[in-house]
Amino acid sequence: MSRSAHPAGPRHADVLPEGHYSAPADDLNALDPKVWAHTVGRDADGVVTVGGITVTQLAEEYGTPAYILDEADFRDRARAWRTAFGNDADVFYAGKAFLSRAVVRWLHEEGLNLDVCSGGELATALSAGMPAERIAFHGNNKSPEEIERAVRAGVGRIVLDSFQEIVRVAHIAQSLGKRQPVQIRITVGVEAHTHEFIATAHEDQKFGIPLAGGQAAEAVRRALQLDGLEVIGIHSHIGSQIFDMSGFEVAAHRVVGLLKDIRDEHGVELPEIDLGGGLGIAYTSDDDPREPHEIAKALTEIVTRECEAARLATPRISVEPGRAIVGPTAFTLYEVGTVKPLDGLRTYVSVDGGMSDNIRTALYDAEYSVALASRTSDAEPMLVRVVGKHCESGDIVVKDAFLPGDLAPGDLIAVPATGAYCRSMASNYNHVLRPPVVAVRDGAARVVVRRETEEDLLRLDVG
């Protein structure tokens, strides 16, 4: 994730420290459309607007910090994925990236399916009216209660992750007098080029059943024998924040190889193949993600080619993008509390949130960008580190970025591309309250997930 150090001469501090940052943009007030939601811009006074509303209005009405979600952009991106894959494939939005009832309704309306991975996500999906047959249920350790709820609800597929789960799901389905459609998640042995914690197709990790050593073939063999299961396909998810399609190519090749072996051994052609999610987005101007139509074309071509070579009918393809749909559609709005220049080092800008609303920087060394949002400025760029209010020095939101040198307490700053895995991984560390998610569209804003209150915290603490 590293980039070359700033090549220009020092600007704010006497000496710029070593770091992973690019030169400051020529115009710090410019908002790169690659990293900002579609309707974001600045009004005549230079205030950032989204969906026709200024961030100052949003801060006044809903407070800070807040996740501001551009509903039109979310729908556009969901629709773009749906259209790109067409009617012969299915797009399952990965709810772990961010799930709320409003999001479930938008997905339903835009014709997407939904991937859930816990009882809580399943409950959210069902309560917002997502038809059960359009839900896939994931997870490496689903509890018997969760499995029973999913089977009773009639979810379209359960993705099986272990030998024990094959038996467990079959048993539960049979005891309910049902035959549950399932996919079997395998690991294909691909090293995805991403952070270790979010790579999932190499063999030495907790997800899936390894293709190596015939284990995946054995899982299929056992599942096909169980009356409670209808084996509909094979699943592979190679990791997250991936830009290079070659990992998917290898995965598709190996999954199709397994389908061929299954056909040869059992005389059964499984009708579906799921290639998971994991497509990268732009967090900074240096990232260059692919468009959904390019991804759809590439994946469809790979699977079709591999199936032709194996003389198999092309199975129905499904994908599970989470980040690529919701990630770019939201930004986090913070108020600056303190600005602390450290001579010869950098300036620490403290905001009213931090690692409790965005753990990704601390956890994955993720890179973000940031902009002054409540006004523009022509001041010289200064190298900053945007930090939170938590009692930990690793509480960093944006590690290295440039903001105008006249930044002051009370300014609003916005961190783009925080739609995925920020609210969904938010915590109450230091009893900091989790921010709301405010959806904006066509000049109107509404809270879709409200801000946590101290009463919420105290209600759980039963004394």
Stretch that binds ligand LLP, among 320-328, 341-349, 394-402, 442-450 (CB under 6 A): 320-328
Is residue 321 a contact residue for ligand LLP (CB under 6 A)? Answer: yes
Residue 63 CA, distance from chain mean position: 25
Is residue 122 a contact residue for ligand LLP (CB under 6 A)? Answer: no
Question: Cβ 97 to ligand LLP, closest distance in Å?
Answer: 5
92, exposed or middle or buried, with CB in 10 Å at 0-12, 13-18, 19+?
buried
- Hey, is 70 helix, strand or coil? strand
Q: How many CB atoms lie within 10 A of CB 283?
A: 25
Rounded Cα gap, residues 108 and 100, in angstroms: 12
Contact (Cβ atoms closer than 8 angstroms) between residue 96 and residue 121: yes
Which of 279, 355 has the CB closer to ligand LLP?
Answer: 279
Contact (Cβ atoms closer than 8 angstroms) between residue 59 and residue 335: yes
Which of 62, 421 has the CB closer to ligand LLP?
Answer: 421
Bridge partners of 115, per DSSP, are: 94, 136
Rounded Cα gap, residues 421 and 442, in angstroms: 26
Residues 84-113, interacting with ligand LLP (CB under 6 A):
94, 96-97
Which of 59, 366 has the CB closer to ligand LLP?
Answer: 366
Rounded Cα gap, residues 52 and 418, in angstroms: 20
* Residues near 37 by beta carbon (within 8 Å), at least 6 away in sequence: 50, 69, 70, 73, 328, 329, 330, 331, 416, 419
Residues 186-225, interacting with ligand LLP (CB under 6 A):
198
Rounded Cα gap, residues 69 and 327, in angstroms: 10
Size of the site for ligand LLP (CB under 6 A): 23
Which of 72, 114 has the CB closer to ligand LLP?
Answer: 114
Residue 275 CA, distance from chain mean position: 16
Question: Cβ 191 to ligand LLP, closest distance in Å?
Answer: 16
Q: How far is CA 13 from CA 57, 98, 264, in A?
A: 34, 39, 68
Residues 344-373, interacting with ligand LLP (CB under 6 A):
360, 364
Question: Cβ 325 to ligand LLP, closest distance in Å?
Answer: 8
Binder of ligand LLP out of 73, 272, 320, 357 (CB under 6 A):
320
Q: What are phi and psi of 393, to 5 degrees?
A: -75, -15
Binder of ligand LLP out of 24, 228, 276, 405 (CB under 6 A):
276
Q: How far is CA 91 from CA 111, 288, 322, 329, in A?
A: 9, 22, 10, 18
Q: Is it true that the peptide bond before 33 is cis, omega within 30 degrees of 0?
A: no
Rg (CA), the chain: 23
Stretch that binds ligand LLP, among 140-148, 214-222, 233-241, 388-396 (CB under 6 A): 233-241
Kindly provide the b/e burial profile for residues 423-457, where b requires at least 16 CB atoms within 10 angstroms of the residue's own CB: bbbbeebeebbbbbbbbbbeeebeebbebbeeeee
Binding mask 420-459 for ligand LLP (x = CB under 6 A): xx---x----------------------------------
Positions marked active-site = 391
Question: Cβ 247 to ligand LLP, closest distance in Å?
Answer: 12
Rounded Cα gap, residues 238 and 91, in angstroms: 17
Is residue 322 a contact residue for ligand LLP (CB under 6 A)? Answer: yes
Residues 391-420, interacting with ligand LLP (CB under 6 A):
420
Stretch that binds ligand LLP, among 50-58, 146-154, 257-265, 316-324 (CB under 6 A): 316-324
Is residue 71 a contact residue for ligand LLP (CB under 6 A)? Answer: no
Binder of ligand LLP out of 158, 324, 398, 401 (CB under 6 A):
324
Stretch that binds ligand LLP, among 49-57, 83-91, 236-244, 400-408 (CB under 6 A): 236-244
Residues 237-256, interacting with ligand LLP (CB under 6 A):
237, 240-241
Helix axes 163-175, 215-224, angle to 10 degrees: 10
Which of 138, 385 has the CB closer to ligand LLP?
Answer: 138
Question: Cβ 420 to ligand LLP, closest distance in Å?
Answer: 6
Stretch that binds ligand LLP, among 35-43, 150-158, 277-285, 334-342 (CB under 6 A): 277-285
Binder of ligand LLP out of 277, 315, 388, 419 (CB under 6 A):
277
Kindly provide the b/e burial profile for residues 161-191, where b requires at least 16 CB atoms within 10 angstroms of the residue's own CB: bbeebbbbbbebbbeeeeebbbbbbbbbebe
Is residue 157 a contact residue for ligand LLP (CB under 6 A)? Answer: no
Stretch that binds ligand LLP, among 11-19, 216-224, 270-278, 334-342 (CB under 6 A): 270-278
* Contacting positions for ligand LLP (CB under 6 A): 94, 96-97, 115, 138, 198, 237, 240-241, 276-279, 320-324, 360, 364, 420-421, 425
